[in-house]
Structure 1
Amino acid sequence: MAKYERPEYTVLLSEEPFELREYRDFYIVEYENANDPDVDSGFGTLFRYISKDNQANRKISMTVPVIQEMSEERTKMAFVVPKAEWEDIPQPNSPALTVKKFANGLFAVIQYGGYSNDRKERDMLEKLAQWVQEKKYQPASNYMLASFNAPFVPPMFRHNEIMVRVATDQESTK
């Protein structure tokens, strides 16, 4: 995991397995396709983008995590753009991909290992939601699944996170 670039953040509070992080701005390439609500083609489309299927025909370094939005209506999946590309991010060839800025902010995060699945993700989301409520934060986005490992990484070495943008009580009343 350490060999791949990841977004920059500062840990403001750590209560294992939870963290409150302040992320700096970064860029993503987001997959969204109304005809593919389970993002079955998302990873492949994003992988092709970083493997030269972009308007610059340029290979882009792999980063972590792959971020997947967790929502009822539609699921989105995103690749984090390496910092070296920010000045000239290649535009996607696929109409299902969009370059976007992921704005800085506060995020509550729960970390867990092993293979991720729907049941485990629901359990972790519920634990994170409870922690967010206990800390008196307000969710300010959909929850997101952050995956850090290739499929062949053994379960004991896997790292996953569920995260959500949060606002404090003072911020949400402004």
Structure 2
Amino acid sequence: MLKTIQRALFSSGLQEPKWKPIETTAQDYEIREYEQTKWASTAVSGMQYDAALNTGFMRLFRYIQGNNEKKAKIEMTAPVTCLVDPGAGPFCETTFTTSFYVPEEHQADTPKPSDPDVFIEDRKTLTVFVRTYGGFSNEQKSREELLQLIESLRRDGQQFVEEQYYTAGYDSPFKMLNRHNEVWLLKKSAA
């Protein structure tokens, strides 16, 4: 019930990828299974999350505004995800892969990006642990929430991929209240 109310309050009105909830007794995170879908993505390497996310967002925004082989305008969707894949050492560059969900009407015939830095990702079915939070997000806030999620998952004995994580933002930068952000950790598949 509480999750349904949260979803209604946080709804952006934008098309979102389909997922189903996985039953859990945890109160501080959700488990979701996302269907296989296509996402428009771009990777930016560097050490600054906020700048990389902004660069990636603008590349993808140009793509949905018609910078594609069909010159098609594509509806904005939610969430905007960012896969954060840290480099191997303290001074290694992190790769930030920013992605927009491709709307349902373009899933079967996705316009090819004109920008060589934008690619169409065929994201397989994935199960993620999700922690939701409000307000304006940034690198520090998402890391704080990520650490809380890790603590909760360890408390519950959940197996998750530790090498990378996703951030997910659902709102326009102009929305001031009831903002919806998430951090995701991939569930480790049984070997």
TM-score (norm 2): 0.81
Counterpart CA distance in 2 for 1:78 and 1:27 is 10
Q: Does 1:117 align with 2:138?
A: yes
- With over 3 angstroms needed to count, the CA separation of the structure-2 counterparts of 1:95 and 1:20, relative to structure 1, is same
Question: 28, 31, 56: which one pairs with 1:17?
Answer: 28
CA contact (8 A) 2:12 2:170 kept: no
Counterpart CA distance in 1 for 2:137 and 2:152 is 20
Report percent identity of matched pairs.
27
1:116 aligned partner, one-letter code: S
Question: Which residue of the partner structure matches residue 31 of structure 1?
Answer: 42
How do 1:54-73 residues align onto structure 2 when only pairs under 5 Å count? Answer: 54-72=68-86, 73=94
Question: Which residue of the partner structure matches residue 76 of structure 1?
Answer: 97
CA contact (8 A) 1:17 1:112 kept: no
Counterpart CA distance in 2 for 1:101 and 1:34 is 21
Question: Which residue of the partner structure matches residue 60 of structure 2?
Answer: 46
Task: Give the match's secondary structure for 1:43.
Answer: helix
Counterpart CA distance in 2 for 1:103 and 1:92 is 20
1:2-54 alpha-carbon deviations (Å, 9 max, x no partner): 42111111111263331011111111111114479642421111011001110
Question: Which residue of the partner structure matches residue 8 of structure 1?
Answer: 18
How do 1:158-173 residues align onto structure 2 when only pairs under 5 Å count? Answer: 158-167=179-188, 171=190
Counterpart CA distance in 2 for 1:11 and 1:35 is 34
Question: Which residue of the partner structure matches residue 147 of structure 1?
Answer: 169
Q: Report the Cα offset of residue 87 of structure 1.
A: 1.1
Q: Which runs of 5+ in 1 are unaligned?
A: none
Question: Which residue of the partner structure matches residue 5 of structure 2?
Answer: none
How many pairs does the alignment contain?
169
Q: Which runs of 5+ in 2 are unaligned?
A: 1-10, 87-93
Task: Give the match's secondary structure for 1:127.
Answer: helix
Q: Report the Cα offset of residue 70 of structure 1.
A: 2.1
Q: Report the Cα offset of residue 67 of structure 1.
A: 0.4
Q: Aligned-residue CA RMSD in angstroms?
A: 1.9
1:47-88 alpha-carbon deviations (Å, 9 max, x no partner): 110011101110111100000122322111011101110111
Counterpart CA distance in 2 for 1:110 and 1:133 is 14
